Amino acid sequence: MDINMGMKPHIRPVEDFRISSVAWELDIEARHEKAGFDPVSRDTTLRRFFMWVDFLQQHRMTTRTIAKALDDVDESTELRNHDLTDEGFDFVRHYHGRWLNRSGKDSGAEKERKFLDKWLKKFRG
């Protein structure tokens, strides 16, 4: 398997850092709305953050449980480098941007989950 999938090889940083957080994603959506983009609701942003983290957890790409349920996700919830296995870090590096870019096109949990499944199948080849 070509874990870099055509991307430049990358050495994972040793230090811990925030990869994403609900607060950041809510801020981005608020800025997009001010710029004239269609609004993405707070509920959708929270659901999408949970879906992403839960997907990583279900596929053993995390080192700890970040959230067990949607109710565990709030503005303080974040995803950090040390929360991810090496495989999880590579998956996030390849697909997190794509996932975030789908926020404004969200078509519901079931359809959005199909994107994650498709990406994982391609990733694990």
Where exactly are the structural domains of the chain? 41-124
d(CA 113, CA 125): 18
Mean pLDDT (whole number) for 23-34: 97
Are the CB atoms for 66 and 79 separated by under 8 Å? yes
pLDDT digits (tens, 9 = 90+) for 69-95: 999 999 999 999 999 999 999 999 999
Of 67, 75, 65, nearest to 51 by C-alpha is 67
- pTM of structure: 0.91
Give pLDDT, residue 5.
57
**Lookup: tokens for 42:** 């707070």
